[in-house]
């Protein structure tokens, strides 16, 4: 069964190269933590990436929230990623027709395809959105073997419209497009059959004693503890944003979350 398999064993079964690469990275580096660097200045995001780098498998960005984005941001973040061995995910949540997402992915100020290993994609437009992103890579210097996406199948926020049937259709899309899909963003593991697909779960926060610090943020976000998302919800990679960025010492906080999450993963596969 998928959830009992080790990340290494799942990498063997994976048919998507980026999914296999990320699973192996997690196994080797012994971390299933993704930090969301949702800060407003490029320097602050780069500083955060460097500080938490040793403890993470993925660093997640929202570059359209930066006050001072410049063309240097991508290459600088790539340097830090190389130093600490993590992948970069731009959480763009593409959601338009193929032609439009192809432009948004490869062109514009952000040139996401040039520096982000992974991107997030809404399932709403159907398979055409994957075709659009793949066609962009074909005309770009980046290649399919070192780029992939995660499909947002289910959202963490209160009253999200990602119903059970939407979620199940999104899973089908992920399954049929392993050429470009490395995983899904989801709050539970149900309906993810393929061991190669990686479940990324946001909405994670803990108090110092390991119990949830707060179960919401006043704007609809819903939080679960690190143990809960890995053991009860099937998270492979857990996303922690403000739990790290609002801590007095972000490196220490990342280490704290890494330890809790990795311990929960070991418990899951050893049961
Ligand atoms: O830990 P937080 O609440 O500070 O940050 C959570 C991060 C944010 C969101 O944009 C993102 O996770 N997110 C996503 C993703 C990753 O796609 C989906 C979702 O359903 N909920 C969610 O919070 O950067």
| 106 has pLDDT over 80 | yes
Dihedral, 154, 211, 54, 118 alpha carbons, nearest 10: 0
pLDDT category at 141 given cuts 50, 70, 90 is low
Cβ neighbours of 112 (radius 10 Å): 25
- By most ligand atoms within 8 Å of CB, the mutation choice from 40, 52, 156, 220 for ligand 1 is 156
The pLDDT tens digits of the residues spanning 148-163 come to 999 999 999 999 999 9
d(CA 270, CA 132): 41
Structure ipTM: 0.99
pLDDT category at 213 given cuts 50, 70, 90 is low
The pLDDT tens digits of the residues spanning 53-88 come to 999 999 999 999 999 999 999 999 999 999 999 999
**Number of residues written out for the chain:** 271
**Cα dihedral sign for 115, 179, 9, 152?**
positive
The pLDDT tens digits of the residues spanning 177-203 come to 999 999 999 999 999 989 999 999 999
For residues 156-180, give the mean pLDDT. 96
Quote the ligand 1 centre to 49 CA distance (angstroms): 17
Per-residue confidence (pLDDT) for residue 138, from 0 to 100: 86
d(CA 32, CA 236): 6
Question: Which atom belonging to ligand 1 lies closest to the Cα atom of 152?
Answer: 17
d(CA 81, CA 164): 36
Per-residue confidence (pLDDT) for residue 71, from 0 to 100: 96
For residues 222-238, give the mean pLDDT. 97
E-strand stretches of the chain: 33-36, 58-61, 87-94, 118-122, 148-152, 181-185, 198-201, 237-240
Q: What is the DSSP string of 195-255?
A: TTSEEEE--B---TTSS-S-SB-SSS-B-B-HHHHHHTS--SEEEESHHHHTSS-HHHHHH
Model-level pTM? 0.97
pLDDT category at 139 given cuts 50, 70, 90 is confident
Q: Is 96 a catalytic residue?
A: yes
For residues 231-237, give the mean pLDDT. 97
Q: Which residue did the predictor score with more confidence, 266 or 211?
A: 266
The pLDDT tens digits of the residues spanning 48-61 come to 999 999 999 999 99
Q: Is 91 a catalytic residue?
A: yes
| 143 has pLDDT over 90 | no
Question: Which atom belonging to ligand 1 lies closest to the Cα atom of 204?
Answer: 1
CA angle 256, 259, 264 (to 5 degrees): 130
Conformational region of residue 75, where left means phi above 0, alpha means psi within -120 to 50, and beta covers everything else: alpha
Asked whether 16 lines ligand 1 (CB < 6 A), one says no
pLDDT category at 212 given cuts 50, 70, 90 is low
| 95 has pLDDT over 70 | yes
Per-residue confidence (pLDDT) for residue 207, from 0 to 100: 76
Residue 147, annotated as binding a ligand: no
pLDDT category at 215 given cuts 50, 70, 90 is confident
């Amino acid at each position: 069964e998928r959830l009992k398999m080790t990340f290494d064993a799942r990498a063997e079964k994976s048919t998507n190269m980026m999914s296999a690469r990320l699973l192996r990275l997690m196994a080797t580096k012994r971390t299933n933590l993704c930090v969301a660097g949702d800060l407003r200045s490029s320097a602050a995001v780069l500083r955060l990436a460097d500080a938490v780098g040793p403890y993470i498998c993925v660093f997640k960005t929202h570059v359209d929230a930066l006050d001072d984005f410049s063309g240097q941001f991508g290459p600088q973040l790539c340097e830090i990623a190389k130093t600490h061995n993590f992948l970069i995910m731009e959480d763009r949540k593409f959601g338009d027709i193929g032609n439009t997402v192809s432009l948004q992915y490869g062109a514009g100020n952000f040139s996401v395809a040039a520096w982000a290993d992974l991107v997030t994609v809404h399932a709403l437009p159907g398979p055409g959105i994957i075709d659009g992103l793949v066609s962009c890579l074909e005309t770009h210097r980046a290649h399919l073997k070192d780029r992939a996406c995660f499909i947002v199948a289910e959202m963490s926020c209160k009253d999200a419209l990602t119903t059970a049937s939407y979620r199940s259709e999104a899973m089908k899309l992920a399954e049929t497009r392993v050429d470009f899909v490395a995983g899904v963003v989801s709050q539970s593991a149900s309906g993810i059959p393929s061991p190669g697909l990686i479940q990324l779960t946001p909405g994670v926060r803990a108090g110092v004693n390991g119990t949830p610090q707060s179960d919401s943020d006043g704007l609809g976000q819903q939080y679960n503890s690190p143990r809960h998302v890995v053991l009860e919800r099937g998270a492979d990679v857990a996303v922690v944003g403000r739990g790290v960025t609002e801590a007095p010492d972000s490196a220490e906080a990342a280490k704290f979350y890494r330890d809790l999450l990795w311990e929960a993963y070991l418990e899951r596969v050893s049961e």
